[in-house]
Chains A and B, each alone.
Chain A
Amino acid sequence: MSRPGRSSPDDGIPAAEERLLRHVDGRLHPDEQAALAAMLAGDPELRRRVAADRAADTAIRVAFAPVLEEPVPERLRRVVRDGAARRRELARMAAAVLLALLVGSGGGWLAGSSRQDGAPAETLAEAAMAAHRTYAVEVRHPVEVAATEEAHLVQWLSRRLGARLVAPDLSRFGYALMGGRLLPASDGPAAQLMYEARDGRRLTLYLEAERGDGETAFRFVESGKLSGFWWREEGLGYALLAETDREHLLPIARGVWEAVQRGS
């Protein structure tokens, strides 16, 4: 805070005025006590002012103290209770995701004929990888609709997929949205959003409308240099892919998941 004798940072008020305010609030630095005593000693007007300020504070506190004693209305207590319940539910889901990551790390391979789950779930990761390989190398036409038309892009893809899409903001991970495109998929259209890092590395988020397969936890897949996380949640299947390692991709996948939860 301010040194004795100097004005506040940002130069709000004169130092002497600040001294008085601090004194009224019982927050005066010990170094300033002498200066304050000198100010007050020769000035009954100032002493009257300090007394008036303190009386005003007391009046305010006394006037509103009864509110503290009132029983808290049920509707407010209910909001906290319901909010807490919702948060516990989300925390459980997050824990389930984390657990699946730990459990699935050994068994998340997708190579050749070693299939872990039923065919439909595998198809999401395969389709996403095929789309990534096809378009991430594109120099002239990496996307169909650019991020400059992001609102239109999201609206268009949401309409075709029949579910509310979100284009997560991944800038804090160093990836900027380039845009997206619509893709054919076995059970209806899918969408691909493409992001680019400053070093030119590309990341895609593949989205597929739900096919009644229900929720899955995070799964990790790897094929050649390409690795990714995929999961299903109400309404959509997601696959996040990039040519990078798992440790680098995991926080981004969590970031995507959180953005989807938020709806932004």
Chain B
Amino acid sequence: MGASPEAIAACLPALRRYARALVRDPAAADDLVQDCVERALSRWRLWQPTGELRAWLFSIMHNLHVSAARTVAREGRPVPLEPAVEPASAPDQLDRIEAGQTLARLARLPEEQRSALLLVVLEDFSYAEVARIQGIPIGTVMSRLSRARAALRDEMAETAILRRVK
């Protein structure tokens, strides 16, 4: 698997998109991507080319984001509740309102749930790849996805539904 500069540069748009969905502020998102690429390049020599470049880059960015989020939690910087991203034009008013609700709830998800969901929805990583990127068992990935989706649906009764579904 060639880790050429061209291959890394080709991943930049997707990395920026994921960062923007995680961090919302465009400048901070690009800072995250820059840190990610710098770290990837410094580790390049040590990288065994058995894995896939894209998954490797995203796992570096995930680790950086988790560290940064921990710092924010410690220092108590308030996280904005309103998403900076406006829902793109939806066919009708109702769709636009629902999309706005989805994005607002996405922004309020716990970091690990949001991250897992975005890796699947935006990047179409397999559950196994998400498990590797987040450094957790696959069962935990499924559990995070389940809770994330339930929160986006804003279902207070999701546990009742789960009990019903056998």
Q: Bound state CA distance, A73 and B20, in angstroms?
A: 14
Q: Is the interface of B mostly helix, strand, loop or mixed?
A: helix
Q: In the complex, are the beta carbons of A83 and B118 less than 8 A apart? A: no
Q: In the complex, are the beta carbons of B45 and A90 less than 8 A apart? A: yes
Determine if B13 is an interface residue (Cβ-Cβ < 8 Å).
yes
Task: Specify the chain A residue showing the minimal Cβ separation from B35.
Answer: A79
Residues of A within 8 A of B122 (CB): 60-61, 64
Determine if A62 is an interface residue (Cβ-Cβ < 8 Å).
yes
A26 to chain B, nearest CB (A): 9
A83-B153 CB under 8 A given contacts A17-B165, A21-B145? no
Q: In the complex, are the beta carbons of A77 and B9 less than 8 A apart? A: yes
Please report which residues of chain A, range 59-115, place their CB below 8 angstroms from some CB of chain B when the two chains form the complex: 59-68, 70, 72-73, 75-77, 79-81, 83-84, 86-87, 90
Query: Interface readout for A1-41 with B: 1 if CB under 8 Å, 0 if not?
Result: 10000011111111011101100110100000000000100
Task: Specify the chain B residue showing the minimal Cβ separation from A20.
Answer: B165
Task: Specify the chain A residue showing the minimal Cβ separation from B165.
Answer: A16
Q: Select one of B41, B102, B121 contacting A83, CB under 8 A.
A: B41
B77 to chain A, nearest CB (A): 23
Q: Select one of A9, A79, A90 contacting B38, CB under 8 A.
A: A79
A-B contact pairs, 10 of them (CB 8 A): A9-B139, A10-B138, A11-B139, A12-B139, A56-B152, A59-B87, A59-B98, A63-B86, A65-B88, A80-B12
Binding site for B on A (CB under 8 A): 1, 7-14, 16-18, 20-21, 24-25, 27, 39, 45-46, 49, 52-53, 55-57, 59-68, 70, 72-73, 75-77, 79-81, 83-84, 86-87, 90, 258, 261-262
Binding site for A on B (CB under 8 A): 4-5, 8-9, 12-14, 16-17, 20-21, 30, 33-34, 37-38, 41-42, 44-46, 85-88, 90, 98-99, 102-103, 106, 117-118, 120-122, 126-128, 137-143, 145-146, 149, 152-153, 161-162, 165-166
